[in-house]
Amino acid sequence: MLDDLRELYQEVILDHSKRPRNFRHPEDANHEAHGYNPLCGDTVNVYLKLGHNGLIEDAAFEGKGCAISLASASMMTEIIKGKTETEARDIFTGFQKLVKGEEEFIDAGDATDKLMMLAGVKEFPMRVKCATLAWHAMTSAMDNEEEVSTE
């Protein structure tokens, strides 16, 4: 059973990395940030359209990196659309604890299943930065910081 679940998770991660969702540079983005992981060379630009109502109306990214980095960025853009900045930050906090092995499970509402697919990263500490790079760039974009590094 665990092997079947692990295989499903790997398939979803590969699908998101080969066919990333929201891989584009939206013309109407009003916040953006560049993220870089110097250890492995992953790079990501996150673009957000934050509405006057406090909602993330659009989220997209462009970049190059490993399957985990691209899959995490793709999932993140799907998850945070329609959320408030606070909700997006809270989801990231829980996700970060999950991939660092500080939590075994997180309750992120409708995003829980997607985020749990990346939980196996905790077995490979060097890959945690790959999984969280886009998320760090997202928070930097919200904070009007143009650049973030995993170092």
Determine the average pLDDT of the residues in 63-71: 95
How is the chain split into domains, by residue range? 2-149
Distance CA 149, CA 34 (A): 8
pLDDT at 113: 87
- 3, pLDDT greater than 80: no
- 72, pLDDT greater than 90: yes
Determine the average pLDDT of the residues in 15-23: 95
* pTM recorded for the entire structure: 0.92
- Token pair for 2: 């665990």
| pLDDT tens, position by position, 40-56 | 899 999 999 999 888 99
- Which of the two residues, 8 and 144, has the higher pLDDT score? 144
For domain 2-149, give the fold.
Answer: Sufe protein. Chain: A (3.90.1010)
Q: Tokens 């329609």 — which residue?
A: 82
Distance CA 66, CA 142 (A): 24
